[in-house]
């Protein structure tokens, strides 16, 4: 269902009766017309896109003193496909938001012989990140090792592109299954049996890894257990399907209502011509000719139902940003630990922890002791009551309980001034300003 909703109108139409049932006694031609004219209101896909983009509205940052230089060099192309670390983590967040689970696999190109660091750099042999989607995960085994759940087997589907050996101008996409074990990997492909000719999964390639562990990091939307996640917007997805069905019904009734039916009674057997320059005569006293039109009550009821669904979908999407239910004062908002009370903020914290472990795997691949960590923006609570909390901060500043620089940083954090401004530069501008006119009130610092 989620894949169909993310695929848009084309994918929902392709799903056919799965999400747009055929009415009892409905002719197939009429159903196909109804299906081919239905359009999807992209509430689910748009909400996933917007919410997963909030943590990455500001760049991913890191401390250069903590993250080794060899790892920082990889951030510009973290997956060896031209994707930087910021964009890669944004894709991971969007996948986890939509499906509830995905993963980061830290891979390293196979190398049979031990080579020098210079040769490794020359050949581009370095570890890299791979996004493993929820729909490609097949199976896993794990066990508790030193109090931590650890993978002992991971199996997933991947697609590789290879040039067709029989035609140099054709590239074939081949689906294969990769099986990972500590210190070992295998790849299986579907091939015809040499005896029976039937397709079966056969070992295609295998090898060993220098790390005796499976360097896979799961990322969750709504974590329910180890490798068990729930899509946080599941209810929104169901409402979006209901909206798809209700909107189709509305389009159908509008089509019927827009075409009035001409009704005639006791007009005789002669030909009838209907038009602006035509007159129809009848000799019967109770003869009648008129258009029968829809009353419109069902149309308004359908429109109200669609609007109600859209409002519910907006509310469900906004709930991931809700800090706590009920009316709260500015002081309560600033005093609470907001990073632990929003569902989206919890997702960002989990993603930050996952990225830390993935960086550690990078470090182990290249022989570093510590991979460091990155910081992903998660302070959405700062903009929840931005203007009201700004007034509170100004009051603290006037009471000399807050410094000029801290006030500047807090106002900037709430998005009320340009994020590219720097306090040191702004302080120079303030000092260069002419003294205030004594006849005019002194403007507020903010």
Contact 132, 102 (CB under 8 A): yes
What's the CA gap between 433 and 446, in Å, rounded?
A: 15
146 CB-side CA count, 13 A: 1
User: What letter does residue 263 receive in the DSSP assignment?
Assistant: E
What's the CA gap between 406 and 397, in Å, rounded?
A: 9
Report CA dihedral (151, 154, 158, 164) to the nearest 10 degrees. Answer: 120
- Answer yes or no: is pLDDT of 338 > 60: no
R_g (Cα) of the chain, nearest Å = 32
φ, ψ (nearest 5 deg) of residue 181? -130, 160
Q: How confident is the model at residue 122 (pLDDT cuts 50, 70, 90)?
A: low
Distance of CA 418 to the CA centre of its chain: 27
Hey, which residues does 181 pair with through a beta bridge? Answer: 184
Mean pLDDT of 405-420: 81
Count H helices, E strands: the chain? 14, 14
Percent of the residues in the chain that have a pLDDT greater than 70, as a whole number: 80
Stretch among 155-159, 302-306, 429-433 having the lowest mean pLDDT: 302-306
- Joined together, the tokens standing for residue 139 give 């199976």
What's the CA gap between 126 and 80, in Å, rounded?
A: 9
Q: How confident is the model at residue 333 (pLDDT cuts 50, 70, 90)?
A: very low
What's the CA gap between 248 and 294, in Å, rounded?
A: 18
Single out the residue of 126, 56, 21, 97 nearest to residue 378, CA to CA: 56
What's the CA gap between 299 and 302, in Å, rounded?
A: 5
- Answer yes or no: is pLDDT of 321 > 80: no
CB atoms within 10 A of CB 118: 8
pLDDT of residue 249: 75
Q: How confident is the model at residue 120 (pLDDT cuts 50, 70, 90)?
A: low
Question: In this predicted model, what pLDDT tens digit does every residue of 37-93 receive, in sequence order?
Answer: 888 988 899 999 988 998 998 899 998 889 999 999 999 999 999 999 999 999 999
pLDDT of residue 229: 93
Mean pLDDT of 166-179: 91
Q: Which residue has the higher pLDDT, 416 or 97?
A: 97
Report helix, strand or coil for 251: helix
Question: In this predicted model, what pLDDT tens digit does every residue of 224-246 receive, in sequence order?
Answer: 999 999 999 999 999 899 888 88
Hey, which residues does 217 pair with through a beta bridge? Answer: 104
Please, what's the b/e burial string for 284-319 (b: 16 or more CB within 10 A of its CB; e: otherwise)?
eeeeeeeeeeeeeeebeebeebbeebbebbeebbeb
pLDDT of residue 339: 37
Give the sign of the dihedral formed by CA 40, CA 3, CA 379, CA 411.
Answer: negative
- Answer yes or no: is pLDDT of 325 > 50: no
- Joined together, the tokens standing for residue 418 give 């340009």
pLDDT of residue 413: 76
Question: In this predicted model, what pLDDT tens digit does every residue of 1-30 receive, in sequence order?
Answer: 999 999 999 999 999 999 999 988 889 998
Mean pLDDT of the chain: 82
pLDDT of residue 144: 93
Q: How confident is the model at residue 340 (pLDDT cuts 50, 70, 90)?
A: very low
For the packed helices 297-319 and 43-53, what is the interaxial angle rounded to 10 degrees? Answer: 20
Contact 415, 389 (CB under 8 A): no
Query: What is the number of residues in the chain?
Result: 446
What's the CA gap between 24 and 13, in Å, rounded?
A: 19
User: What letter does residue 198 receive in the DSSP assignment?
Assistant: -
Mean pLDDT of 155-179: 91
- Answer yes or no: is pLDDT of 379 > 50: yes
Distance of CA 149 to the CA centre of its chain: 27
Contact 350, 217 (CB under 8 A): no
pLDDT of residue 336: 44
CB atoms within 10 A of CB 213: 16
Cα angle 407-338-410, degrees, rounded to a multiple of 5 = 10
Q: How confident is the model at residue 275 (pLDDT cuts 50, 70, 90)?
A: low
Mean pLDDT of 312-339: 53
Dump the DSSP string for 284-335.
STT-EEEEE---SHHHHHHHHHHHHHHHHHHHHHHHTT--SSS---HHHHHH
């Amino acid at each position: 269902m989620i894949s169909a909703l993310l695929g848009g109108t084309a994918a929902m139409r392709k799903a056919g009766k799965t999400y747009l049932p055929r009415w009892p006694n409905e002719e197939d031609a009429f159903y196909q017309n109804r299906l081919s004219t239905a359009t999807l209101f992209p509430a689910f896909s748009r909400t996933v896109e917007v919410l997963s983009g909030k943590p990455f509205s500001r760049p991913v940052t890191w401390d250069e003193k903590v993250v080794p230089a060899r790892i920082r060099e990889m951030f510009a192309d973290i997956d060896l496909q031209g994707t930087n670390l910021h964009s890669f983590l944004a894709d991971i967040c969007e996948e986890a938001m939509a499906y509830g689970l995905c993963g980061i696999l830290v891979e390293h190109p196979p190398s049979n012989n031990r080579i020098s660091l210079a040769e490794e750099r020359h050949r581009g042999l370095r570890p890299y990140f791979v996004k493993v989607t929820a729909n490609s995960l097949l199976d896993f085994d794990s066990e508790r090792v030193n109090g931590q759940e650890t993978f002992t087997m991971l199996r997933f589907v991947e697609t590789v592109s290879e040039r067709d050996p029989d035609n140099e101008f054709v590239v074939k996409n081949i689906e294969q299954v990769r099986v990972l074990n500590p210190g070992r990997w295998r790849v299986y492909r579907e091939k015809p049996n040499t005896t029976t000719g039937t397709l079966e999964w056969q070992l295609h390639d295998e090898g060993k890894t220098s790390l005796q562990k499976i360097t896979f990091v799961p990322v969750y939307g709504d974590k329910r257990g180890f490798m068990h996640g729930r899509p946080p917007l599941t209810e929104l997805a169901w409402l979006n399907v209901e909206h798809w069905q209700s909107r189709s019904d509305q389009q159908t009734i509008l089509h019927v209502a827009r075409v009035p039916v001409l009704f005639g009674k006791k007009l005789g057997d002669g030909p009838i011509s209907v038009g602006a320059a035509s007159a129809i005569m009848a000799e019967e006293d109770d003869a009648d000719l008129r258009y029968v039109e829809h009353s419109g009550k069902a149309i308004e009821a359908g429109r109200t139902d669609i609007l109600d669904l859209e409002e519910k979908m907006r509310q469900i999407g906004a709930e991931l940003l809700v800090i706590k239910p009920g009316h709260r004062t500015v002081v309560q908002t600033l005093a609470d630990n907001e990073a632990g009370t929003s569902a989206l903020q919890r997702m960002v914290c989990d993603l930050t922890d996952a990225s830390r472990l993935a960086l550690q795997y990078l470090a182990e691949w290249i022989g570093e002791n510590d991979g460091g960590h990155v910081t992903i923006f998660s302070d959405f609570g700062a903009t929840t009551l931005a203007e009201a909390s700004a007034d509170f901060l100004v009051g603290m500043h006037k009471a000399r309980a807050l410094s000029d620089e801290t006030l500047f940083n807090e106002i900037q954090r709430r998005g009320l001034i340009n994020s590219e401004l720097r306090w040191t530069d702004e302080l120079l501008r303030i000092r260069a300003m002419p003294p205030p006119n004594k006849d005019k009130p002194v403007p507020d610092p903010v």
